[in-house]
Structure 1
Amino acid sequence: MGGSSNLVPVVSKIFCASSQTALTVRKRPQVVNGGGFVVLNGRNSVVFSVVGCGVLGANGELILKDGDGAPILYIRKKGGMLQALSAHNRWRGYLMEFGRPSKPVFSLREPRQLAVSSHRIKISVEPKGRNGDWDYAVEGSFDEKAFSIADRKGNVVAKVGSGEEKAAVAASKDFYRVVVQPGYDQAFVVGVIAVLDNIHGESTTC
């Protein structure tokens, strides 16, 4: 992809790069700033960070920040009686404006039976999904750090678990690499990874 016409923003086009980008997700100890993780670029500079309940005081609530520490997204798990009766848990990501959540930008459906391999985690871009029921899907194993995010046409947006990335996971449980394809929104990708981290009880959980 090249040029602004090929960008696919969800959060903002400023987080879309014209070339393939390799990022490193590094977990923080849960006793440090509420746990969570930081995301580094190829120069080992922090480009994103995610904090969980240690800072917010509630499980199922996450904040994604940029490299300067400014909040970008507020992500929360929906609750209530209807949610309890649903076959899916639902998460929603909201833009942060003036320090407060504003309009929703994506929603994620988490199957309650994550062990069922045929159940993909589906993501819709707000409002109501640009392509009907869902726009993106997560396939593979987050636990093994071998998964991908793809669009409805099967185009891979981001991937963890091939080549160098797989070797990095084997070397340490505290970091892994994610490769984001050109034009796609890196903040959106990290937001999805933050939800997956929480679902699987890793660094963002209480």
Structure 2
Amino acid sequence: MIPIISKLYCSSSQVVFVVRKRPHVVSGGGFVVTNCSQNVVFRVDGCGVLGIKGELVLRDGDGGALLLIRRKAGMVEALSLHKKWKGYTFDYEGSQKVVFTLKEPLSHPCPCVPRNNAIKISTEPSGSCFEVKGYFPDRDCTIVDSTNNVIAQIAVRKEVEELMSSKDLYQVLVKPGVDQAFVFGIIAVLDYIHGESTRC
């Protein structure tokens, strides 16, 4: 698989990460991603930190910005069947470059409009397509590629589920060769869409 954000985040083996939501009252919300050694690999800042609705930042373990994610709004969204999110990377001069577009289906009141609840993602410039299957708030979903191969799986850790009913701690399994930063960019948007830690 071609890296979408950076080849630094593509592993030759399967990797399991743990996601922990940050409380709004303490640090403005968002979440932290750790590896099996409990080192912070990614951090996501939502509008509680940034102060801007519909905007998220994926950072590396040292706090450097990897990805800026924005929801497109306005007249175009009002006429569309989807809400669009765009993920941007920064080049060495600081310019933004679109690397993916995520389409979130709108809940349409008109019965004449067909309902397709799938969340679809396309990458640029490669044009690769992905889809989210399952239900994120239950921590039971997968991200699949255009041939239906699972590239990442989101699930509640069994030992956590036994101790508490909270979904504030869950695991993400990322398949070999998959850009982990891209996966957590998608998860950041899913978190926001469902009104969780990244949303004000």
Give the TM-score taking structure 2 as reference length.
Answer: 0.89
1:3-152 mapped onto 2 (5 Å cutoff): 7-97=1-91, 100=94, 102-113=96-107, 118-127=116-125, 130-131=127-128, 135-152=129-146
Equivalent position of 2:157 in the other structure: 165
Once the two structures are TM-superposed, the CA of residue 117 in structure 1 deviates from its matched residue by 8.4
CA contact (8 A) 1:74 1:101 kept: no
Cα distance in 2 for residues equivalent to 1:67 and 1:44? 11
Moved segments of 4+, more than 6 Å: none
Cα distance in 2 for residues equivalent to 1:197 and 1:121? 13
Deviations 1:56-85 (A, max 9, x none): 211110000000110000000001101112
Check 1:101–1:80 CA distance in 2 against 1; reply closer, same or farther (3 A cut): farther
- Matched residue pairs, number? 193
Once the two structures are TM-superposed, the CA of residue 45 in structure 1 deviates from its matched residue by 0.7
Structure 1 alignment gaps of length 5 or more: 1-6
Check 1:47–1:102 CA distance in 2 against 1; reply closer, same or farther (3 A cut): same
Check 1:55–1:154 CA distance in 2 against 1; reply closer, same or farther (3 A cut): same
Cα distance in 2 for residues equivalent to 1:167 and 1:84? 44
CA contact (8 A) 1:168 1:177 kept: no
Once the two structures are TM-superposed, the CA of residue 101 in structure 1 deviates from its matched residue by 5.5
| Matched AA of 2:189 | V
Check 1:15–1:117 CA distance in 2 against 1; reply closer, same or farther (3 A cut): farther
Once the two structures are TM-superposed, the CA of residue 130 in structure 1 deviates from its matched residue by 1.9
Give the TM-score taking structure 1 as reference length.
Answer: 0.87
Deviations 1:88-126 (A, max 9, x none): 000000003469561000000000139x98521000001
**Percent identity (aligned):** 51
Deviations 1:119-169 (A, max 9, x none): 210000013x524xxx100010011010000000011000023xx735535
Check 1:48–1:85 CA distance in 2 against 1; reply closer, same or farther (3 A cut): same
